[in-house]
Amino acid sequence: MLTRKQLDLLHFIDARQNRDGVPPSFDEMKEALNLRSKSGIHRLITALEERGFIRRLPHRARAIEILKRPDSMKKPGFTPQVVEGDGPRPAPADAIPVEAANAMDLPVMGRIAAGTPIEAISEVSHTVAVPGTMLSGRGTHYALEVKGDSMIEAGINDGDVVVIREQSTADNGEIVVALVANHEATLKRFRRKGDMIALEAANPAYETRFLPADQVKVQGRLVGLIRNY
């Protein structure tokens, strides 16, 4: 069975592929389904792939192949059985209400790119309440809104708010805020390889960036994540 949103997306991909010869882009899918971010499209695409309706072809743009269609796309007048599962997801069972977790207000310093780096932002746009248990030890903390999907396989989606502990060093494998060439800010996994720094995405659609160590400045380390359901 498919949810209503999954079925709607499958219909949209099929129609656009028949019309244009190529599947729609993620932005076009997001607009067609009236979703707030592309992370929702990622979840729907993954669900369709897991159920065997589509296949994503690696290392190719817009590479979606429809493997099968529900009966509703074959027989006129047939109404498919769908499940209602596209509303707001319930919070995890072990989620701690902010009010009950000694919350602290942190400044949100604009957006951080989880995708193509964007111009560095250092102005406070607003504040966000963060459970005190999320703050790791002493030091200064701040928050950033995530823009992009390059860290989606690390559980970081477009629109999430990440909590960052301010520091200038990082161990291999840690997710950091990196300032590239003094003007691009990005959220990536950090690895030092000799005189080079690798900034790794957690999405196979993005390539690892290799940069001279003197072009990368660590601005902080990821210590928490806040998501609105």
How does 139-178 read in b/e, with b if 16+ C-beta sit within 10 Å?
eebbbbbbbbbbbbebebbbbbbbbbbebeebeeeebbbb
Return the half-sphere exposure (C-beta side, CA atoms, 13 A cut-off) of residue 118.
Answer: 14
Q: What's the CA gap between 175 and 218, in Å, rounded?
A: 10
Active site residue 150: yes
The residue annotated as part of the active site, out of 122, 188, 193, 217, is 188
Say which of 150, 168, 193, 217 is annotated catalytic: 150
Angle between helices 4-20 and 38-50 (to 10 degrees): 90
CA atoms of 222 and 112, how far apart (whole Å): 12
Residue 188 annotated to the active site: yes
The two structure tokens encoding residue 102: 């000694």
- Please state the three-class secondary structure of 119-152 as a single string: ECCCCCCEEEEECHHHCCCCCCEEEEEEECCCCH
- Residue 47's Cβ-count burial label (10 Å; 0-12, 13-18, 19+) is middle
Distance of CA 184 to the CA centre of its chain: 19
Just list the catalytic residues. 150, 188
